[in-house]
Each structure stands twice: as structure tokens, then as C-alpha cells.
Amino acid sequence: MIHGASPRVSDRLRVFVGFSADEMMATTVAINSMLHFAGTLRLNVQRISRLSLLQCYTRPTRIDDNGQLWDEISDAPMSTDHAIARFFIPWLRDYQGWALFTDGDVLCRRDVRELFALADERYAVMCVQHPPLLSVGYKKDGDRQLAYPRKNWSSVMLWNCGHPANRHLTLDTLNGVSGKALHGFVWLEDSQIGALPPEWNWLVGLSAPVDNPAIVHYTQGLPTLPDHAHDPYADEWFAQARRAGYAVEQPPPPLEAAG
């Protein structure tokens, strides 16, 4: 490339951000926070969901009487439209190059080019390897919180799309195996899963404290929810939302109980 020339779209780092129609603001904040630090000329960012995959995504899906999205192959609820879509990324990239996936409820606080710099060709996927979450409860605005091995590992993934092991993710596999199997990386050997530093997927309310987390993940609820409006870095989340054009203000903290 000629020195000083703008990068071509094909030269930019590929990023996919999970998207659900009811989380439009969250996804917009996630993308804007990435671009705020990296710049639009360095990243090629696109949203991904089961709906964006058109005919490629043929998994039977239904909405129950309570409005809960269900993946029928897994016989399990999905809290977002991108619960399974993230695993289509190597296929979408024609099994070539590197790509980053993040859930839509994240806030980037550093340049994701630092994350791409950690890419190691030995691994098919790299992620923060969170300790097991064994309890079952609720998250966000009443969604069921399911417990399974490698919970939250797939919420931020650096994909080595060209790794031979990822060629097992054919459309037949992606549309035919359970979500639990995909989120558990069952097509990979343990040695093919690389570990990222914990600051690259810091789970609010769950992860151990770290200095200057690079990606803050509001997996239990966005700052727009009253119980999470003053979670760590929520002020930065609201600031990014305003930069994205949303007329939102962080509510004042609750008054401390007298006495």
C-alpha cells in the first residue's frame, strides 16, 4: 500500500458484533466505542444475527407464549438473535484470515487492534477463559441464565478463520448441532483454544477486578436498566451512547440510607 493512502475495505480488520432488534442501542454503542478508539479506516465492522444470515441459517426457531426465543435443535432458550450466528463467521469469511466477534452488550475502552496483535496462528479461536458459571438464574431484563461448560467464552472471540479445525464448521454442522455444543467448542481440541488476557472480556459483576479493562461486558444487564445504571464504567457507556446520537442521561446515584 502507498504510504499515507487510505486502507481498502479488504485491508481493514474484520469485526462482527452481535445484533438483536431489541438491543439496537447496545449494538450501536458497542460499534461506536470500537470506532472511537480504532477509527473507521482501520476496522470493517458489521452486525451479525440469525436474521442477517438469510438462507444460510436454517435452524428451526420459535418464540414461545412469553416472548422467549427458542432454538428447537437445542430445546433451549436464546437470549439474543446472535446466540448461534457467531459460529458462522469462519464460513462467512470463506475460512480465511482473522476476525473478531463480540456480543452486542460490550463497551470498548481501548483499541481492538491491540487485541488483533495477540493473534496466534497455533489456535483456531482465542478467548478469555472464564471460570465455570454453575448457577442458573436470570440476567438482563428477565432472560434465563443458563449454566454450561465454558460459559461466556464465546461472547468475545478472536477467530482464526483459516485454521484447518474450523473447516469442521460447515453449514450442515452449524445448522444441525446443539447450541451448547457450539458454545462449548466441541469441534476443537483443548490445545486449539488460545487464552486471551482477562481484560479483553471483563464481565461486570462476575469477573475478578482488573486494571483498565479493555472490553467491559454488561452480560447481566445494560446500564439502561435501573439496577445497572451505576455499574462499573456505566458513565463511559452513557457517554458513548450520546456520541452515537442517543438522548440518554445517566440517572443520579441513589441516595444512601440515612444513618
How many Å apart are CA 187 and CA 125, to the nearest integer?
Answer: 11
What pTM was estimated for this model as a whole?
0.89
Whether residue 65 has pLDDT greater than 90? no
pLDDT band at 256 (very low <50, low <70, confident <90, very high): low
How many Å apart are CA 138 and CA 59, to the nearest integer?
Answer: 25
Whether residue 231 has pLDDT greater than 50? yes
Whether residue 4 has pLDDT greater than 50? no
Q: Are 78 and 182 in contact (CB under 8 A)?
A: no
How many Å apart are CA 108 and CA 30, to the nearest integer?
Answer: 7
Max Cα distance, the chain (Å): 67
Q: Which of 3-12, 84-93, 175-184, 240-249 has the lowest mean pLDDT?
A: 3-12
- Non-local (6+) Cβ contacts of 1 within 8 A are 7, 8, 11
Whether residue 86 has pLDDT greater than 60? yes
Can you give the length of the chain in residues?
Answer: 259
Alpha helices in the chain (DSSP H): 24-38, 89-92, 113-116, 171-174, 179-183, 234-243
Whether residue 257 has pLDDT greater than 70? no
Whether residue 81 has pLDDT greater than 90? yes
The neighbour count for residue 160, using CB atoms within 10 Å, is 24
223 or 68, which is more confident: 223
How many Å apart are CA 137 and CA 143, to the nearest integer?
Answer: 9
Q: Are 115 and 213 in contact (CB under 8 A)?
A: no
Whether residue 228 has pLDDT greater than 60? yes
How many Å apart are CA 125 and CA 151, to the nearest integer?
Answer: 15
Whether residue 103 has pLDDT greater than 80? yes
Query: For cell 454503542, what's the residue?
Result: 29
- Which CATH fold would you assign to the domain 9-243? Spore Coat Polysaccharide Biosynthesis Protein SpsA; Chain A (3.90.550)
The neighbour count for residue 197, using CB atoms within 10 Å, is 14
- Non-local (6+) Cβ contacts of 232 within 8 A are 204, 216
- Partners of 100 in the beta sheet? 15, 158
Alpha helices in 23-155 (DSSP H): 24-38, 89-92, 113-116
How many Å apart are CA 121 and CA 192, to the nearest integer?
Answer: 10
Whether residue 106 has pLDDT greater than 70? yes
- pLDDT tens profile 155-203: 999 999 999 999 999 999 999 999 999 999 999 999 999 999 999 999 9
Written as nine digits, the cell of 30 is 458497542
- Non-local (6+) Cβ contacts of 218 within 8 A are 26, 105, 106, 107, 204, 228, 231, 237
pLDDT band at 107 (very low <50, low <70, confident <90, very high): very high
